[in-house]
């Protein structure tokens, strides 16, 4: 993602427009959303020679993939990203952050990466109206009946109480029968 400004020259006022197709590098991503590595990115650049350097204006269009923050469905979307930055001919000792040309060359990667990451949605959703997942069973609520709901009693507890009704004495019965058939010594459980 290095661009040669030789053709532009260093006369203030000259301007050059460049179109590039590139493949997204690794790292254009946030936690839930990214421009996947290797996806094509269309890049339109305008290079303007100014007093102290070259003003680069970039416009990019790219495809993003994400996971809906509510229902986890995969999402594909397009983004347009605009960025501009001044690259100085000479380093400025007072401003170490100032990007500087390397001879005639400009490395656009950091500038493009920052702009893309800033443009990625922080909370991607498949739809603004997405209702997310059912807290009880995890089903995606947009895929089921609008009045999807669960009985107040958890089905696991219902199964357990049914078992207890079948065998009201529970483990006491088993222990009693074991004691009767073996020695009168106390069971190991009781020694604890």
Residues that bind Zn ion (CB under 5 A): 68, 70-71, 73, 126, 130, 134, 136-137, 139
Closer to Zn ion by CB, 68 or 83: give it.
68
What is the closest distance, in whole angstroms, from the C-beta atom of residue 70 to Zn ion in the complex? Answer: 5
Cα dihedral value 43, 49, 54, 59, nearest 10 = -20
Specify the residue for token string 């079948």: 166
Closer to Zn ion by CB, 53 or 124: give it.
124
Beta strands 2-4; 15-23: pairing state = unpaired
Per-residue b or e along 12-36, where b marks 16 or more CB atoms closer than 10 Å to that residue's CB: eeeeeebeeebebeeebbeebbbbe
Closer to Zn ion by CB, 71 or 106: give it.
71
What is the closest distance, in whole angstroms, from the C-beta atom of residue 34 to Zn ion in the complex? Answer: 17
What is the closest distance, in whole angstroms, from the C-beta atom of residue 2 to Zn ion in the complex? Answer: 39
Closer to Zn ion by CB, 88 or 130: give it.
130
Residue 115: both structure tokens together: 């702009």
Instruction: Work out the burial of residue 182: count CB atoms within 10 Å of its CB; fewer than 13 is exposed, 13-18 middle, 19 or more buried.
Output: exposed
What is the closest distance, in whole angstroms, from the C-beta atom of residue 137 to Zn ion in the complex? Answer: 3
């Amino acid at each position: 993602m290095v661009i040669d400004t030789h053709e532009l020259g260093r006369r203030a006022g000259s301007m050059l427009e460049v179109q590039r197709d590139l493949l997204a590098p690794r790292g254009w991503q946030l936690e839930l959303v990214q421009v996947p590595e290797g996806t094509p990115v269309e890049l339109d650049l305008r290079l303007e020679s100014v007093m102290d350097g070259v003003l680069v204006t970039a416009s990019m269009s790219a495809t993003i993939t994400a996971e809906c923050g509510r229902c986890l469905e995969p999402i594909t979307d397009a983004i347009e990203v605009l960025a501009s930055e001044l690259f100085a001919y000479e380093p400025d000792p007072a401003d170490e952050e100032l990007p500087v040309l390397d001879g005639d060359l400009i490395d656009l990667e950091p500038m493009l990466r920052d702009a893309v990451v800033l443009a990625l949605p922080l909370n991607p959703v498949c739809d603004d109206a997405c209702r997310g997942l059912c807290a009880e069973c995890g089903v995606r609520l947009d895929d089921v009946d609008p009045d999807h709901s669960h009985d107040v009693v958890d089905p696991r507890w219902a199964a357990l109480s049914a078992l207890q009704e079948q065998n009201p004495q529970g483990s006491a019965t088993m222990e009693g029968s074991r004691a009767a058939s073996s020695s009168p010594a106390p069971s190991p459980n009781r020694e604890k």
